[in-house]
Structure 1
Amino acid sequence: MFLVAKRYVKDSVLAEDVMQDAFIKAFKNLHSYKAEVSFGAWLKRIVINQSIDELKKKKLELVTINEEVVTIIEEDNWEVEEAISTKMIIETINNLKEKYRVVLTLYLLEGYDHSEISEILNIAEVTSRTHLMRGKKQLQEQLKTISYA
């Protein structure tokens, strides 16, 4: 759970605080656990939400984009060169702007869809898609420089 929190807040000390707050919240709400999902998945969701709440406290700026102006072409091509490891990809994601990093992390690493991301971050779905598309583009550009180095 520490690693989950650290993926979002990027600071070990803050991730420990987030994890501790999430455990306290889980303990206080243990009666609401319904075993519809595994306990680990339920706890992970609390840790993710607590991490995002912490980012919101830091006034994470996720600007809503006017849906009429933006047309998004979704591309599902996430292929990278074989020489690039998963660790390199995650490190590169962690170096992106926070708004892109959070959406990419929720989408790629946690498996949330755009409607869930928009609900979690309190942004429009089109904003989630746009942040994912722009984050993906930046990620690919940075990975190209790594593969040529």
Structure 2
Amino acid sequence: MLHIELVERCKTNDRKAQLKLYQQYCEGMFCVAMRFLKNSDDAEDVLQESFIKAFQKIEQYSGEVTFGAWLKRIVVNRSIDFLKSKKERTLELDEGYMHITDDDNWEVDESVSLDEIKKAIDSLTDKYRYVVQLYLVEGYDHNEIAGILKISETASRTRLVRGKGKLKELLKEVKYGTGS
């Protein structure tokens, strides 16, 4: 049976035709997914999702390109989307696995002026400055900061600890005259 006939039968939701197309393309499309994902479990998941999407959207297949080329584009897009979501989850988990100690000691050497502290806070990168300002100056807790900045509470804590560390470095430079 020709691919065109199979595709037309798939458009009528013919399960046997869908199975035939799947059998004809699954191995090749698995290889495509593997080239991106480098993990057979992930490739199998993406492959299944791709075929489901292809059969749901098969009405959109116009025949301008081969069915294989159309399906390959779906597999490639799904693979890229999977990698993007995995990267986002990995970044979020990396912050979550960090051991964060809540150090409430914000004491600064008496020789450092309030203006120097404000100047040091202003020189922090935005992602640290916002959290330090919201926590230290505005008095928000991590739950509130997370809501305001649309980040996780863990990310808020991490950024506060890192921002505080950078702030201490900047203030040491001021105290010992190595700063600007």
Shorter-chain TM-score above 0.5: yes
List gaps (5 residues or longer) in structure 1.
1-62
Pair 1:137-2:165 in alignment:
yes
2:75 is matched with: none
User: What's the TM-score, normalizing by structure 1?
Assistant: 0.55
Q: 2:92 is matched with which residue: 65, 85, 104?
A: 65
Letter in 2 for 1:142: L
CA distance in 1, matches of 2:118, 2:96: 33
Query: Higher helix fraction: Structure 1 or Structure 2?
Result: 2
Deviations 1:14-51 (A, max 9, x none): xxxxxxxxxxxxxxxxxxxxxxxxxxxxxxxxxxxxxx
Q: Tell me which structure has the larger Cα radius of gyration.
A: 2
Partners of 1:83 and 1:147 within 8 A in 2: yes
| 1:52-91 alignment runs, 5 A limit | 65-66=92-93, 68-91=96-119
2:156 is matched with: 128
1:93 is matched with: 121
Letter in 2 for 1:74: D
Identity value in percent: 48
Q: Number of matched residues?
A: 87
Letter in 1 for 2:131: V
Letter in 2 for 1:147: K
2:144 is matched with: 116
RMSD of Structure 2 on Structure 1 (CA)? 1.6
* Shift in Å, 1:85: 1.1
User: What's the TM-score, normalizing by structure 2?
Assistant: 0.46
- Equivalent residue of 1:65, what SS? helix
Partners of 1:115 and 1:125 within 8 A in 2: yes
CA distance in 2, matches of 1:144, 1:65: 31
- Pick closer, same or farther for the CA change 1:73–1:107 going to 2, 3 Å: same
- Pick closer, same or farther for the CA change 1:102–1:148 going to 2, 3 Å: same
